[in-house]
A = this chain, B = another copy of it.
Amino acid sequence: MRQSVDLAKCYRLLNHGPTVLVSARHAGRANVMAAAWCMPLDFDPPKVAVVLDKNTFTRGLLEASGHFALCVPCAGQVDLVERLGSTSGREEDKFAHPDLQLIDEPAARSPLVAGCVAWLDCVRLAEPVIEGRYDLFLGQVQAAWADDAVFRNGHWEFEGAPDALRTLHHVAGGHYLTIGRPLDAR
């Protein structure tokens, strides 16, 4: 079940380096793309960084609206993630496929993809120089949620849950690794 995540701990949703879905909505059009180049940027207030190519339709929606969401997909969504990362919202309506559904969450400004295991709703921190030079976008997290089947008490707990709920970590060309076992330092 989707539960709210304390903003002080929401960096943990991205800290282990999952591939994410980036979504944005503007003037009645929504879009979702896949992005492996995403990371936390600060704890308090929580900030994130993500690379968005100039050709992406999502980038234009983000720039126009000033908002975006990061959704953390899971192994069961691998084909959806690959499709969202290899097609463009310029050429087709990604929502025409039944595997892409949104969550009805009034507190979110940007679309949240159903079936993911975590979501971070963000406001853009406009930095036009690095956006233009490096395709690098920064945001501040306004609200976060996670599926308590795998994220509880501020920690990912994948052991005991179905493997289909493990996060995806893209290598290249549709080849992914799923997150594995816990390991604690001494």
Contacts and interface: CB of A to CB of B under 8 A. Distances in A.
Interface of A: 9, 12, 15-19, 36-42, 47, 49, 51, 75, 78-79, 81-82, 127, 129-130, 134-136, 138, 154-156, 158, 166, 168-172, 174-186
A183 to B, nearest CB: 5
A169 B17 contact: yes
A181 B177 contact: yes
A17 B36 contact: yes
Contact of A171 (B38, B134, B155, B170): B155
A118 to B, nearest CB: 12
Contacts of A138: 134
Given A41-B136, A42-B135, A174-B184, 9 more contacts: A17-B17, A36-B39, A36-B40, A38-B39, A49-B49, A78-B185, A79-B185, A155-B171, A176-B184
B37 A39 contact: yes
A47 B129 CA distance: 17
A89 B47 CA distance: 27
A177 B183 contact: yes
